[in-house]
Amino acid sequence: MFDFFRAYQGSIYNMSMLSYNWYSRINPTDVNLADKVREFATDGLEIKTKRWYQVTYVKTKDHRVKIYLDGKHVRTFIMPNVKLKGDTTMSVFNPQMSYSVSHILREVRVWSKALTEAQINADLYNPIDPDSDGLVAYLPIDFENKYNDVTKYENVVELHKATRNSPFGVQDGESYHKIVKPEEYGIDEWHHNVIFPSETLQKVEP
């Protein structure tokens, strides 16, 4: 959930979503993969601020990446020569000021298998068992677990923060961000008793 969209250069958006041997970004009318051939796209996609979205990326055996938004297939990109493997780094969002803004991240799941649309929708809004078959990383991101992976693999999670204050211009490279401790990361608050599914941030009154 983004508070707003920031154009880092005029009307050019580079709001980062995910990087893992590819680079995905988002703007008010699109979610895409940088420098990849688009094979399928639904019309009229609108991405609003201050609204929950569940974004799922599925890498298929025929060298495609399918993107699902709230469980619906919205994009397919052709990705020859891209292999997913262990012992590598996955980046979620981007700490650099011109590529991101204040946001709320609900959770992160990584699977070693390609989920079907039915499998995606079955647990779209529900917490899942950390020992689920094929689940290789799971960050519930709550007060109890913080930003820790709760699977048996115990993947290392690094928190990065911007080193520059300017929200404009190209900001590429390690000089624009640094690893920080959780207490330095800048979490304003942990949200409890959040209602799902819901378009906006709503909570059950205690």
CB 160 within 8 A of CB 179: yes
Mean pLDDT by 10 residues, the chain (206 residues): 90 88 90 91 95 95 94 94 76 92 94 96 95 97 94 96 91 93 88 91 87
Q: Could you give the residue ranges of the DSSP H alpha helices within 72-136?
A: 117-122
Tell me: cis bond preceding 197? Omega within 30 of 0 counts. yes
Residue with tokens 């205690």: 206
State the pTM of this model: 0.94
CA distance 68 to 149: 23
Q: Count the Cβ atoms, other than its own, within 10 Å of residue 37.
A: 11
What does the chain come to in residues? 206
What the chain holds in terms of domains, given with CATH numbers, is 7-184 (2.60.120)
CA distance 59 to 64: 6
CA distance 12 to 35: 15
Chain centre to alpha carbon of residue 136: 16
* Beta strands 72-78; 37-41: pairing state: antiparallel
Return the pLDDT at 77.
96
CA distance 99 to 25: 9
Residue range 5-15, pLDDT digits in tens:
999 888 888 89
Return the pLDDT at 147.
94
